[in-house]
Amino acid sequence: MSTARTGLSLAAGLLVVSGLGLGLATDRPASASARSLPNPIRRENALPGSPGWRLPRATPGAIEGYASQVSVVAGNELDLHVSTNPPTRYRVEVYRVGWYAGAGARLVACSPACGTDEPGAAQPVPPFDPSTGYLNAGWPVTDRLVVAPSWTSGYYLAELVLTSGDDAGRGSWVPFIVREPPGLRSDVLVQAPVNTWQAYNDWGGRSLYFNFNGVGDNHVSFDRPYDEKTMRTADGQATDNANLPQVSEFPLVRFLERDGYDVSYTTDVDTDARPAGLLDHRLVIVAGHDEYWTKGIRDAFERARDLGTNLAFVGANIGFWQSRYEDGRRTVVEYRNPGPDPEQDPALKTVMFRDLVPPRPECGLLGVEGIVEPGNQSIGIKDMAVNPAALGDPWFARTGFTPTSVLPGLVGYEWDLVAPGCRTPPLTDFFHSPGTPSFDAVRYTAPSGARVFSAGSLRFSWGLDDTTGDGSPPLQQFMRNALDDLTRPAAPFFLRARRTPGGIRIAAGWPPDPRGRQLYVYAHAGRRSFQPASPGARLVCVTRAPSCLDGRAGHGRAVRYAAVLRDRWRPSFPALSPVVTG
């Protein structure tokens, strides 16, 4: 058993993030120093990348392995279980996936060291349980990675590189997530869909897609390698299957890190284990094909939304099947049909969320729903069209989209649509493609003020990343506009002002968000709308109370007020009061 080297030291760097450019004065008073400092993602991506990180595939079975955990916090250890068949020598090279000036990843460690290797041994493939499909490889620990405190939260690949034999220089890989250290609270949290990675993994002969009858394909273990069915990814590289992270998740990561957003990463398993963690961030993004959720995951997202956390689902077919965990969250359980499922509580059956008793259709959270398909065939590919009726929305500002704009091939291979009769707040439908089935990408505002965006397509992220060959500058600007909104708290629901003997009393309606915040109130003479940064705007008060008094307001003159709420991350957009005179 060997120990990996620690990560490289960080270098300072800064990337500029485009926003809506509203010039809020509130972007300066309380946060100028904090927002001018490079966040961990900017520092990380200022380091030199490793362009040769894409590992050519070895002969299937020549080398493969799995990790002891789906995620780890920096400062801890991660065990790997590696098999080489026939026995030969190998090395583990660990890469962090990001932007890195277009390189796409950075080498952070090797085991036993980057210039050496170690002997491998062939491990058996045990039989699966014919009644459940369960298979735990049960291999011994071969490598222990020390995840150094300097490792930045992100997607990581432990690449298993053969160093001798016919496949020398080729290999396979093990994906895992490094989570944010305790005490840090990034603006944005990205959830990786590791449940789906495993659901489609048929290593050893079984997956959750073996026969669909709930018998023989209802338990899958994280304690096994990923299968080696080859396909082409968005950037033309070979990968295992369409539901592993290279396809729809890595393009999103490259976009976020290229623009330097303050982002950290987690998994759906971690959300089930610590649901309150979603509240440590202003925006939570679900990446890719997060099809398999537990009741705990769905509950966590609904609670986060209802307490004001903004959500973005950048993928499709999300939260479609309700599943359960066993073996300390190392096994995903999904019967698909209520009959074979031994769980007696109808609310916990492993069926589609919309088929639960009582039903919990995914559109109640996402605003859209995945399409029910016959068998396990993918839906296909179609073009994404702009909805002309939504072009006046601020999220379309400076994108260049027109009523006839079409983005070729960005809908699929699975996609979502607006479900008639679903109980949601009013939807803004940004992108719509007609046909049977149709496609929709939507936003709604929850009663808490949280904004919820659903991209509705697994290929949406391809348009965000130029390295896919499908990068779309207009769609990238749309997403920057969306993120400028989604990384802010809700604005005050209302702003009222009335004259009293001591001055003008300004009262704001507060969203039900428990996180610390302050109310900034500004005054401006006259009747016109204004921004806090407008010439002549006067800061009236900064308070944690929902109201304050303007004792400097003169009599006989018209005045208006603007207010923003500020949390630990950013200020809201402003709310304006009616004109006050007298």
Q: In three state form, how does the secondary structure of 114-158 look? A: CCCCEECCCCCCCCCCCCCCCCCCCCCCCEEEECCCCCCCEEEEE
**pLDDT confidence of residue 375:** 54
Is residue 452 within 8 A of residue 366, CB to CB? The reply is yes
Closest to 49 in 3D by CA, of 108, 2, 5, 9: 108
Tokens of 454: 């659903």
The whole-angstrom separation of Cα 407 and Cα 421 is 28
Task: Say how far apart CA 123 and CA 138 lie, in whole Å.
Answer: 9
Give the pair of three-digit tokens for residue 297. Answer: 């995951």
Asked if residue 546 has a cis previous peptide bond (ω within 30° of 0), the answer is no
Question: Residue 279: which of 545, 516, 573, 37 has the closest Cα?
Answer: 516
Task: Compute the distance between CA of residue 342 and CA of residue 336 in angstroms, rounded to an integer.
Answer: 12
Give the helix ranges, DSSP H, for 416-543: 473-486
Q: Residue 229's pLDDT is what?
A: 64
How many CB atoms lie under 10 A from the CB of residue 38? 18
Burial class (CB in 10 A: 0-12, 13-18, 19+), 423: exposed
Written as one string, the DSSP assignment of 22-83 is ---GGGSTTTHHHHHSPPHHHHHHTS---GGGSPPBPSTTSEEEEES-SEEETTSEEEEEEE
Q: How many CA atoms lie within 13 Å of 308's alpha carbon, on the beta-carbon side?
A: 22
Q: Is CATH 2.60.40.10 the classification given to domain 495-576?
A: yes
Alpha-carbon Rg for the chain, nearest whole angstrom, is 25
Instruction: Look at residues 364, 459, 336, 342 and name the one whose alpha carbon lies nearest to residue 409.
Output: 459
Helix ranges restricted to H, 324-416: 363-366
Map out the domains of the chain as residue ranges.
495-576
Which has the closest alpha carbon to 454: 512, 373, 370? 370
pTM: 0.91
pLDDT less than 70: residues of the chain: 1-37, 214, 229-242, 374-378, 582
At 202, list the tokens. 């048929």
What single letter denotes the amino acid at residue 262? Answer: D
Specify which residues 231 forms β-bridges with.
239
User: In angstroms, rounded to a whole number, what is the distance separating the alpha carbons of residues 47 and 126?
Assistant: 43
At 250, list the tokens: 């890595």
Contact between residue 524 and residue 562 where contact means Cβ atoms under 8 Å apart: yes
Contact call for residues 318 and 292 (beta carbons, < 8 A) = no
pLDDT at 582: 65
Cα–Cα distance measured from residue 516 to residue 311, given in angstroms and rounded to the nearest whole number = 19
Sheet with strand 292-294: strands edge to edge: 219-221, 331-333, 321-326, 292-294
- Rounded to whole angstroms, how far apart are CA atoms 371 and 315? 13
Helices (H), 487-572: none
Nearest to 445 by CA among 319, 301, 310: 310
Q: Take residue 47 and report the two structure tokens written for it.
A: 């380091």
CB count in 10 Å sphere of residue 83: 24
Task: Kindly state the DSSP code that residue 466 receives in the 8-state scheme.
Answer: G
- Cα 219 from Cα 214, distance rounded (Å): 9
Cα–Cα distance, 190 to 26 (Å, whole number)? 27
The residue type found at 67 is: A
Q: Is the Cβ–Cβ distance between 143 and 79 less than 8 Å?
A: yes
Alpha carbon of 400 to those of 283, 431, 455, 475, 485: distances in Å?
Answer: 26, 14, 19, 9, 19
